[in-house]
Amino acid sequence: MATKKVEVVKHGEQAEMTFLEHLEVLRWHIIRSLAAIALFAIVMFLSNEFIFDRVLFGPKYADFPTYRWFCPLAERMCDGPTFSVQTVTVEEKFITHLKVSIILGIVVAFPYIFWEIWSFIKPGLYPKERRAARGMVWICSGLFLLGISFGYYIITPFALIFLTGWQIATDIIVSTPTLTSYVNSITFYTLPAGIVFEMPIVVYFLSKIGLMSPQFMRQYRRMAIVIILVVSGIITPPDVLTQFLIGIPIFILYEVSIVISDRVVKAQEKEMAE
């Protein structure tokens, strides 16, 4: 008796896709992410008065929250930095306006961008891996925005006061950075902080694929502390208080990353033993 061949077709996330179909799906994730960036960039562009006066130049004013918080601890934090900003080319204000709008568009749209990335990666994971990574979008987005806030409210004010107040043997030189230079400085103090705060997420995935282990991180803990303190000393005034103010949160992230890596490795060892 001949048996009738039954073809099983998988649908949804279980469906097998060709390489070109994967590229098509990825293309739409990228398009939607770019559309979100463009939308928020337009909003930022139209809100130029608030963005420039209160956000971008906020750390320049004495009423900035950070200066009020730390005024009782350090006298030089009471008045804020003293400098003026200038433009030296005809198109500088317009180009900077566009640049700032795009950067802020990326920052505000980051949770959605990461959701699109995760939506592309998630179908390729096993059910157990999906459960282990539950809440990844919220955690990753929260860490990034927390890092941005840390860079904006902590690193930026201290760096501006120190760098604009630095004297090189004469009072003739006056701090008048260009608008482009000022925006680049603010970007340098904030965006990298957002990326650094993703350390636990990066360590999680590196531990999953075997490129990172808790033993390695514990072995080089002292070296990590030295690097953190050196970097903190470079971007802050030369006193212990501000150096540790910058370094301690980063060190805490390092220790949290060790705990995460340890849990990942133990879970993998338990799974292999079963």
Closest alpha carbon to 29 in 133, 114, 105, 111: 114
The Cα-based distances of 175 to 64, 141, 160, 172, 270 in angstroms read: 20, 36, 11, 10, 60
Q: What is the dihedral of CA 41, 47, 53, 59, to 10 degrees?
A: -40
H or E stretch covering 124: none
Which letter does DSSP use for residue 220 in this model? T
172 and 213 in a single domain? The answer is: no
204 and 144 in a single domain? The answer is: no
What predicted TM-score, i.e. pTM, was given to this entire model?
0.84
User: Which sign, positive or negative, has the C-alpha torsion 149, 154, 157, 163?
Assistant: negative
Q: How many domains does the chain have?
A: 2
Residue 39 counted as domain residue: yes
83 and 113 in a single domain? The answer is: yes
Residue 58 counted as domain residue: yes
Residue 14 counted as domain residue: no
**What crossing angle do the helices spanning 240-273 and 221-235 adopt, rounded to 10°?**
150
Give the domain range for residue 240. 198-269
Residue 38 counted as domain residue: yes
The stretches of 209-273 forming alpha helices (DSSP H) are 214-219, 221-235, 240-273
243 and 135 in a single domain? The answer is: no
Rounded to whole angstroms, how far apart are CA atoms 150 and 252? Answer: 14
Cβ contact 257:199 at 8 Å: yes
Domain boundary residue, one of 142, 167, 197: 197
132 and 219 in a single domain? The answer is: no
pLDDT at 27: 94
191 and 227 in a single domain? The answer is: no
139 and 210 in a single domain? The answer is: no
Cβ contact 40:100 at 8 Å: no
Residue 47 counted as domain residue: yes
Closest alpha carbon to 111 in 33, 41, 189: 33
Domain boundary residue, one of 150, 181, 197: 197
Residue 49 counted as domain residue: yes
pLDDT at 238: 57
Residue 13 counted as domain residue: no
Residue 240 counted as domain residue: yes
192 and 202 in a single domain? The answer is: no
pLDDT averaged per 10 residues, the chain (length 274): 42 63 92 98 96 94 89 75 91 97 97 94 81 85 95 90 79 85 93 92 90 93 89 66 80 94 89 78
192 and 213 in a single domain? The answer is: no
Q: Which amino acid is at 88?
A: V
146 and 158 in a single domain? The answer is: yes
pLDDT at 194: 93
193 and 203 in a single domain? The answer is: no
Residue whose tokens read 């680049």: 184
Strand, coil or helix: what is 12? Answer: helix
Beta bridge partners of 178: 86
Rounded to whole angstroms, how far apart are CA atoms 199 and 253? Answer: 7
Domain boundary residue, one of 136, 169, 197: 197
Strand, coil or helix: what is 212? Answer: coil
Which residues, 6 or more positions from 212, have their beta carbon under 8 angstroms from its beta carbon?
Answer: 203, 206, 261
pLDDT at 5: 42
pLDDT at 165: 80
Which residues, 6 or more positions from 38, have their beta carbon under 8 angstroms from its beta carbon?
Answer: 105
